Amino acid sequence: MTEKRCYYEVLSVTQTASTDEISVAYRKMAIQYHPDKNPEDETAIGRFKEAAEAFEVLSDADKRSRYDRYGHAGLEGSGQQFHDLSDIFEAFGDMFGGGIFGGGSRGRRTRRGADIECDLSIDLFAAARGIKKQVSFSRHQRCEDCDGNGAAGGTALESCPYCGGHGQVIQSSGILRMQTTCPSCHGAGSTIREKCDNCRGDGYQEEAVTCDVAVPGGIDDQMQIRLTGQGHPSSNGGPPGDLYCLVHVEEHPLFTRQGNHLICKVPITYSQAVLGGTVEIPTLDGPESIEIKSGIRAGSVIKLSRRGMPDPRGRRAGDLHIQIDIDVPKKLSDEQEQAIRKLAELELSHVTPHRKSFLDTLKGYFVNQDQSS
Ligand SMILES: [Zn+2]
Ligand SMILES: [Zn+2]
């Protein structure tokens, strides 16, 4: 994918632009880059699509605030994705419709079904190994009683009296003469005289669906998995939408993730730090022992190459970074205390006396791992 430009930059507006300013800016762009005026000019078509996408986000208070906070990442998979020009005309065609450009009736093209979003929570080990999970969500199902047209018994629809069946009405605003979607039939061009009892005129019913999702190993929190064609069906014979599963990877008590690297803080004792020794550490594959060199300092990092998270795109796996922490015990046996006091005398300093918590967590972690495997 190519780098996305900032939506504000695309529309040449400031971050504080009002919705009106954004509409005006978008209209200007849309007129300038309209494909009818720039036939076969790929750059213009690109700009046209880009402007439509930017407008779609910035004109929606909710999406705009998500964009302001998280940038393009905050919007991934959410809402409208413009696959081709017809989608844009579908969404915004009425803003600058046939009236200005002489484009003719675009209202009758088939429409892609809407996308569905769902959430999927997994733990770090499932994220590392990959997992098959089931997700449940609600999806529109074509009503059988009316065969999806929403009229009782599937009877024929009537032409909308408001727009004469065109789905569009002409409105004049200043010097612009605009064609807009008919407020009565919302662009359908037809109305239902008697609504289908079964679906109350919607043409569909909600259906509970369960679907298998293959989560690839290495997936990270907030990544999305797209299941093509698993979204809502089209209302008029177009392709169905897609299902987007937003993955949540639960936080782990021992590992912190940074991209594909895993960071684990391991406390060692003062004597281990001074003298060196063998230390047990957690890895994704279970506990392991590593050697600590004598004289290691707090904050030192021991890198275990490619022992972090795999890459979901099959690139190089991340590393496991063991971060050494020197643990100062709170309780000492009499014997320990004597030894430490002796050391203090030798160092001509004086010393005062936590370690259980990490060991407990470590034990709990191994127990959990045994259960999950
Ligand atoms: Zn109408
Ligand atoms: Zn029905």
Q: Rg of the Cα trace of the chain?
A: 31
Q: Among 357, 354, 358, which Cα is nearest to 280's?
A: 358
pLDDT of residue 138: 96
Predicted TM-score of the model (pTM): 0.58
Q: What angle do CA 173, 178, 184 make, to 5 degrees?
A: 100
In sequence order, which ranges of 6-135 are alpha helices (DSSP H)? 7-10, 19-33, 42-58, 61-70, 85-92, 98-101, 124-129
Could you list which residues have their CB under 5 Å from ion ligand 2? 143, 145-146, 196, 198-199
Instruction: Kindly give the distance from the C-alpha atom of residue 168 to the centroid of ligand 1, in angstroms, as a whole number.
Output: 7
First and final C-alpha spacing in the chain: 37
Query: From the CA of 164, which ligand is nearest?
Result: 1
The DSSP line for 256-315 is: EEETTEEEEEEEEEHHHHHH-EEEEEEETTEEEEEEE-TTPPTT-EEEETT-SPPPTTS-
What are the chain's domains? 1-106 (1.10.287.110), 255-372 (2.60.260.20)
3-state class (DSSP) for residue 98: helix
**Distance of CA 112 from the midpoint of ligand 2 (Å):** 20
Question: How far is Cα 20 from Cα 81, in angstroms, rounded to an integer?
Answer: 23
Tell me the C-alpha distance between 129 and 127, whole Å.
6
- Tell me what percent of the chain is helix, strand and coil, each rounded to the nearest 5: 30, 25, 45
Q: Distance from the CA of 105 to the center of ligand 2, in angstroms?
A: 27
pLDDT tens digits for range 115-126:
999 999 999 999
* 139 three-state secondary structure: strand
* Centroid of ligand 2 to alpha carbon of 154 (angstroms): 7
Calculate how far, in angstroms, residue 308's C-alpha sits from the geometric centre of ligand 1: 59
Tokens of 238: 């177009």
pLDDT string in tens for the chain (373-residue length): 457 889 999 999 998 898 888 888 888 888 888 777 777 788 887 888 888 888 888 888 888 888 888 888 877 655 444 545 555 555 554 444 433 333 334 445 678 999 999 999 999 999 999 999 999 999 999 898 888 888 888 788 888 888 888 888 887 666 667 778 888 888 888 888 889 999 988 889 999 999 999 999 999 999 999 999 999 998 878 899 999 999 999 999 999 999 999 999 999 999 999 999 999 999 999 999 999 999 999 999 999 999 999 998 889 999 999 999 999 888 889 999 889 888 888 877 644 443 445 666 667 666 655 544 4
Angle of helix 42-58 relative to helix 85-92, nearest 10 degrees? 40
Strand-pair partners of 297: none
